[in-house]
Amino acid sequence: MKLTLRVWRQRAADADGAMSTYEVDGISADMSFLEMLDTLNEELILTGEDPVAFDHDCREGICGACSLVINGDAHGPERTTTCQLHMRSFADGDTIDVEPWRAAAFPVVKDLVVDRSAFDRIIQAGGYVTAPTGAAPEAHATPVPKPDADLAFEHAECIGCGACVAACPNGAAMLFTSAKVNHLNVLPQGAPERETRVLDMVAQMDEEGFGGCTLAGECATACPKGIPLVSITGMNKEWLRATRKVSGR
C-alpha cells in the first residue's frame, strides 16, 4: 500500500504546530497503524529528519498508552485502540490525517504526544479503595451480587486512554471519571469512600479544566473498551446522592 499521511508536527509544548505531509510506500495491510508509523519514522531517521513522536507501550490494546485522532476519529475508524487498528482498514492511495488528542487539560508535549497526567490526578482524588484487600479473596468472604460484579467489570475495562476526552466536543472527562466511580462505588470494597469518591473526583475533573457533558454521546462511540454513555447517568446519580448525604450530616 502507498499512503499519504498528514501528521501534526509540533517541536515542543510552547512551539507552534502544523500538519506535515509524508508519503509512505510498501505498507502491508497486516501492519498495525503504529507499525506503519514506525516505518515512516525509520525513513525519517534515514533522511536525517526528526521522527514523529507518538505514545505507545503494550501494543496489545490493554495499557491505554496509544492515542491519535485518525481522520477525525479517536483511535481511528475501528472501535479499538490505535495499536490494534490494522492498515487493512484503509485503502491503497488513501490520505490519512493524524492529530493528537485535543483538550485544554491534555496539552501537547511533542507532535502527537499529549500530557494525560490530569487523569492521574482525578484518580488520586478518589479512584482507589482504602480497605486492605490483599490478594484475590476467597469468593465467599465478601459476596458480590452478579449484576454488581458485571457492572464493576464493565467499568473496570476503562484503560484511561483519553479517547472520550478527544472525541467529546466539549473536551469533557465525564466518561473516564464515571467509569472509575461506577467501578468502585458498586463494590463493597469501595463502599467506605462512596460519597467522597464521586464528589472529589468530579471536583478534580472540573479543576483540571475539562468541559461539561452535553450528552452528545461521542465519548461512548469512541471508547475502545465500550464504556456506555449510561455510565455518565450513573455517576450523576451517585453525585446527587452524595451531595444530599454529605450536606445532611
CA 32 to chain centroid, in Å, comes to: 19
Among residue numbers 16 through 55, which ones bind other proteins (CB under 8 A)? Answer: 19
Q: Select the residue interacting with other proteins from 54, 119, 176, 239 (CB under 8 A).
A: 239
C-beta of 6 vs 79, nearer to other proteins: 6
Contact 194, 247 (CB under 8 A): no
Applying CB under 8 A, what is the total number of residues that bind other proteins?
50
Burial of 173 (0-12, 13-18, 19+ CB in 10 A): buried
Per-residue binder mask for other proteins (CB under 8 A), 176-215, x = binder:
-----------------------x--xx-xx--xxxxxxx
**Sole binder of other proteins in the list 55, 73, 193, 195 (CB under 8 A):** 73
CB 68 within 8 A of CB 163: no
Residue 97 pairs with which residues in a beta bridge?
6
Tell the burial category of 18 from Cβ atoms under 10 Å away from its Cβ (0-12, 13-18, 19+): exposed
Rounded to the nearest 5°, which phi and psi values hold at 19? -80, 130
Q: Rounded to the nearest whole angstrom, what is the least distance from the CB of residue 100 to other proteins in the complex? A: 9
Strand partners for 4: 23, 95
Q: Which of residues 75-104 bind other proteins (CB under 8 A)?
A: 97, 99, 102-104
The residue (of 189 and 236) whose beta carbon lies closer to other proteins is 236
- Among 203, 35, 215, which Cα is nearest to 122's? 203
> Is 201:126 a contact under the CB 8 Å cutoff?
yes
Using CB under 8 A, pick the residue from 61, 126, 171, 224 that binds other proteins. 171
Q: How far is the CB of 174 from other proteins (least distance, A)?
A: 8
User: Could you identify the residue written with the cell 507552534?
Assistant: 16
Residue 73 or 193 having the CB closest to other proteins: 73
- In whole angstroms, how close is the CB of 80 to other proteins at the nearest point? 18
Q: Tell me how far apart the alpha carbons of residues 14 and 134 are, in angstroms, rounded to a whole number.
A: 44
| Listed ranges 43-51, 52-60, 189-197, 239-247: which one lies at the site for other proteins (CB under 8 A) | 239-247
Should residue 217 be labelled a site residue for other proteins when binding is judged by CB under 8 A? yes
Instruction: Indicate whether 243 belongs to the interface with other proteins (CB under 8 A).
Output: yes
Cα 79 → chain centroid: 13
Q: In the complex, which residues of this chain contact other proteins (CB under 8 A)?
A: 6, 8, 19, 69, 71-73, 97, 99, 102-105, 168-172, 199, 202-203, 205-206, 209-218, 228-230, 232-241, 243-244, 246-247
